[in-house]
Copies of this chain bind each other. A is one copy, B any other.
Amino acid sequence: MLEKYSVRTDLALEEKERFESDNVEIAGVVLEEEYDEKREMRITKVLIETENGAKSMGKPVGSYLTLEAPNLAVPDEDYHREISEKLAGYIRILVENKCAGRRPAGRLVNNEGRKDGAVHGNEVGHKDKSARGNAKLEEMDVSVLVVGLGNRQVTPDALGPYVADNLCVTRHIVKEYGKYAMGMEHAKLVSAIVPGVMGQTGMETMEIVKGIVEETKPDVVVAIDALAARNSKRLNRTIQVADTGIHPGSGVGNHRNGLTEESLGVPVIGIGVPTVVDAATIVNDTMENLIDALETSDVLKGVGDVLRTYNSAEKYELVKELISPHLNGMFVTPKDEDELVKQISYTISEALNMVFTNA
């Protein structure tokens, strides 16, 4: 309920944490954690397995992998390369799972006429799990459209466009010269689009991307977006990879329509980095901190206890009162966000280049 004044998060991990603080187990949601001590990197996988779980989490059924690495904010090339490799590994598996069975290898380049709907049939897509497990990306012909979401002019929203800038696009070259000429046994066709935001285009991002997908028929879309987090310590230090695409209300720019397999007709992998915290979140946190702080004061101890007994509706009313009306539409972001977003966007584009260009 608190979300109404948008103490929102786009990280499944943080959505899960919210329940944990309430000591609630969520049916249909599984959490897996792994810590890479050497690299100080925490990997968390949130699996939403049932519709019930999806409802509780406010996110669709699917897997949400979060990679947290405090040093992502440090300009250390070697470290970033290691993160790119780790990330590339996860993306590769997702692409293999999503694309295996979608089309027989070798038919990619020749059969891209607009009539071959059959080849793209979703009926093969999701069900034939047996056929997939074994497919290796190296042995697959895959065509991917990378979508760089967000507004290049707004620093913390420029993540997507920056990733697209550093991407090796190859589709036009393979189309022109063929995959063998490029020394590839199995073609990877990479295309990219920076669709802009609605205030610039007058169109929903979804409309633009859907049109391009229907015209160019990629096997999979990888959409990159800047996200909002609840916890400011995660900003620019966290990468989320979701096999469910990009969802309404996500991101700095708040897309109204998601980019999902349902809306686009092809699987969508969503990659996001939190770059802002909603100003309202800060207010909410302050109140929570205050309640804790009151505990330690002899005089005021009782107040914290009273506030703690408030139910959600009462808390909502209280926090609503505390928020200055002018904070709506404002966000919190680090002063050196420009450097940070450039750095992490490069790490992501390198990961994608590893997956699709050197494969």
Contact = CB atoms under 8 A, between A and B. Distances in A.
A51 interface: no
Interface in A50-78: none
B215 A210 contact: yes
Interface string A84-96: 0000000000000
A246 to B, nearest CB: 17
Nearest to A303: B303
A194 interface: yes
A153 interface: yes
Q: How many copies does the complex hold?
A: 4
Nearest to A210: B215
Q: Is the interface of A mostly helix, strand, loop or mixed?
A: helix
A173 B200 CA distance: 12
Given A324-B232, A326-B233, A327-B232, A201 B192 contact: yes
A233 B200 CA distance: 25
A interface, size bucket: 35 or more
Interface in A288-308: 289-290, 293-294, 299-300, 303, 306-307
Contacts of A216: 203, 207-208, 211
A2 interface: no
The 6 A-B pairs with the shortest beta carbon distances in the complex, nearest first, are A211-B215, A211-B211, A171-B202, A169-B202, A191-B202, A233-B326
